Amino acid sequence: MSPIFHLLQVVFLQPLLNLLFLIYGLIPGHDFGISVIILTLIIRFALWPLTSKQLRSQKKMQSLQPEIAKLKKKANGDKALESQMLMELYKEKEISPFSACLPVLLQFPFLIALYFVFQAATHNTAELANLLYLPIQHLPAVQSIIQDPSSFHPTLFGIVSMTNPSIPLAILAGITQFIQVQMIAPKQTDKSDPSAAATKMMNYIFPLVTVFIAWKLPAALPLYWLTANLVSILQQKIVMSEEVEEMEEVTVVKKIAQPKKKDTKSIGKRRGK
């Protein structure tokens, strides 16, 4: 084992594996699929502040589309000038043009790490004693796996095997990925813009890639992906509703702050009297 992989195992993979089996050992029924869902929720809520920041940035990106369209017309086909003007606009508004992709890309490091975690949990159960911390090993449900690895059958609700690929879970992961991407994708005002067409294509490619990858992986990975997408969709709805409320509050404050205009007609009538 290389020193780098050993470091990753000790710092990243091993804690995730122990957290997974801690959940498995404590929940009633010791359902491995439910343990994966709970682990996913913990990871996603730990990333909640970072993801919320990126979603707010993406919301700003959507509101900038009219200004971006004007800049492109002003550049008149000069790509270098257009890029420079766009970068200046993004810098002024303090947003990242790649914020739409970030929530999706954030999942890949965890998918890679969890792939090795699930491999160790479902295929290398004989090695669990070397990877689990002593307090985790002493949990009765975990102890029985260590003593007799062949007795461990990781499933979701006792029906869906977490060690074999699951086509329904792969498709559901792709569908929820599509919903998530559509929610955060900037609305393009100029349909003739080549970059708009490319962005729209990527909105379809990401979900298809999700299904393609998840199709052949152990079902635990698509289950993680599906759960993570559902949390992201919920988070996006919350962030969007917060943005709407903030905009309404700003509008109300502006109306209150504006001085009331005097009715000149009524004043004229009074003077005429």
pLDDT, one tens digit per residue, over 148-189 is 888 888 999 989 999 889 999 999 999 998 988 887 665 555
pTM over 0.85: no
The predicted pLDDT at position 36 comes to 93
Please tell me which residue, 232 or 3, carries the higher pLDDT value.
232
Q: Is residue 229 part of a domain?
A: yes
Q: Is residue 263 part of a domain?
A: no
Asked whether residue 105 carries a pLDDT value surpassing 80, the answer given is no
The predicted pLDDT at position 32 comes to 93
Where in the sequence is the domain holding 211, given as residue range(s)? Answer: 3-243
Q: Is residue 49 part of a domain?
A: yes
Q: Is residue 265 part of a domain?
A: no
Q: Is residue 270 part of a domain?
A: no
Q: Are 81 and 99 in contact (CB under 8 A)?
A: no
The predicted pLDDT at position 250 comes to 45
Q: For residue 120, give every residue at least 6 positions away whose Cβ sits within 8 Å of its Cβ, in sequence order, or none.
A: 13, 17, 127, 128, 131
Q: What are the tens digits of pLDDT across the range 53-102?
A: 777 776 776 677 777 777 777 777 777 777 787 787 777 766 666 655 66
For 99: left if phi > 0, alpha if psi spans -120 to 50, otherwise beta; the answer is alpha
Asked whether residue 268 carries a pLDDT value surpassing 80, the answer given is no
Q: What are the tens digits of pLDDT across the range 189-231?
A: 555 555 555 666 777 788 888 898 888 888 998 999 899 999 9
Q: Is residue 56 part of a domain?
A: yes
Q: How many structural domains comprise the chain?
A: 1
The predicted pLDDT at position 254 comes to 46
Q: What are the tens digits of pLDDT across the range 10-60?
A: 777 888 889 999 999 999 989 999 999 999 999 888 888 877 777 777 677
The predicted pLDDT at position 247 comes to 46
Burial readout 171-181 (b: 16 or more C-beta within 10 A, e: otherwise): bbbbebbbebb
Q: Is residue 114 part of a domain?
A: yes
Q: Is residue 146 part of a domain?
A: yes
